[in-house]
Structure 1
Amino acid sequence: MTTTEALLIGRRRRLALTMIGGFAGLVALSLAVAVAADLADAPTAAALTDRVVPLLVFYAPAPIAAVGGYARCGGPACLAVGAVPAVVFAALVVVGTVFGVPGVGPGDSPIGGVTMAFAAVGLSGAFVGYCAGVSAALLGDLVGFGSGDEGDEE
């Protein structure tokens, strides 16, 4: 597989799936803890999640996609990392609506707009991160550092 194919399509499927699944689990856990802390009226946990959730939802997709781009996980996997916060948030709203969790259901809030905003921010950050990772991989190949010949092609 040529370098261009490895960077665009991806060579390391197992790493890509681990990257996407791990990030989805981390975002889901942080959102669930934030909801639980809000329902339990725990100010310390709520203060912590008020700092961690925006970090994961808005800022983390770019560096994760950059690492994925450098590791030759492929563009689709790196962009999927950007969609993870929106998908997890939408799933949380659906689960909250089905099980009647207070403060999670659709109610009067614009859930669709918030979900689309999460998707837009996450995808744009992941795209920029992927481009940076690919640039770093190509520059590394040019210099002779980290050629990326190893990898699982399963």
Structure 2
Amino acid sequence: MTTTKALLIGQRRRLALTMVGGFAGVVALALAVAVVADLADIRTATALTDRLVPLLVFYAPAPIAAAGAYARCGGPACLTVGVVPALVFATLVVAGTVFGVPGVGGGDAPLGGVTMSFALVGLSGAFVGYCAGVTAALLADLAGFGGDGGDGGDGETDAAE
């Protein structure tokens, strides 16, 4: 598979799914722990999650997308990483509203607006990270130490080839 096709479409689908799913799991776990710590009034856990959640929601998509682009997971997977925090947040709010979890309802803020804001911030960070990862992969290929083999490094190849 050519480098361009590998960077745009992706050649390591299993790694891409693991990257997106793993990030979604980490964000969901962090948000759930933040809610439980707030409800249980555990000050240490609340202090930790007050620092961890913004890090995951706003800053983590860029380096994760950069690493995914360098590993040739493809643009769609790398950009999906930017939308993951918004989808997890919206799911948590809807589930909290349906199950009546105190402090997790929709409140006065429109859920769609807040979710779209999170998605735009995450998507822009993931796009910048993706561009940085593609640049790093192309420079590594140009220098001769990048991996542009026919398989994804773990034995994966496209069925079309």
Checking the alignment, whether the CA contact within 8 Å between 2:58 and 2:122 is kept in structure 1 is: yes
Following superposition, the deviation at residue 2 of structure 1 comes to 1.1
1:25 to 2:29 alignment? no
Aligned to 2:81: 81
Following superposition, the deviation at residue 116 of structure 1 comes to 1.0
User: 1: distance between equivalents of 2:106 and 2:64?
Assistant: 30
Instruction: Give structure 2 stretches of 5+ with no counterpart.
Output: none
User: 2: distance between equivalents of 1:77 and 1:153?
Assistant: 17
Aligned to 2:120: 120
Checking the alignment, whether the CA contact within 8 Å between 1:71 and 1:148 is kept in structure 2 is: no
Aligned to 1:106: 106
Checking the alignment, whether the CA contact within 8 Å between 1:90 and 1:115 is kept in structure 2 is: yes
Aligned to 1:66: 66
Give the TM-score of the pair, scaled to structure 1: 0.97
In angstroms, what is the RMSD of aligned CA positions? 0.9
Give per-residue Cα distances to partners, 1:7-33, cap 9 Å, x unaligned: 000000000000000000000000000
1:8 to 2:8 alignment? yes
Instruction: Give structure 1 stretches of 5+ with no counterpart.
Output: none
Q: What is the count of residue pairs matched by the alignment?
A: 154
Identity %: 79
Checking the alignment, whether the CA contact within 8 Å between 1:17 and 1:77 is kept in structure 2 is: yes
Aligned to 2:157: 153
Give per-residue Cα distances to partners, 1:19-72, cap 9 Å, x unaligned: 000000000000000000110111111000000000000000000000000000
SS at match of 1:58: helix
SS at match of 1:147: coil
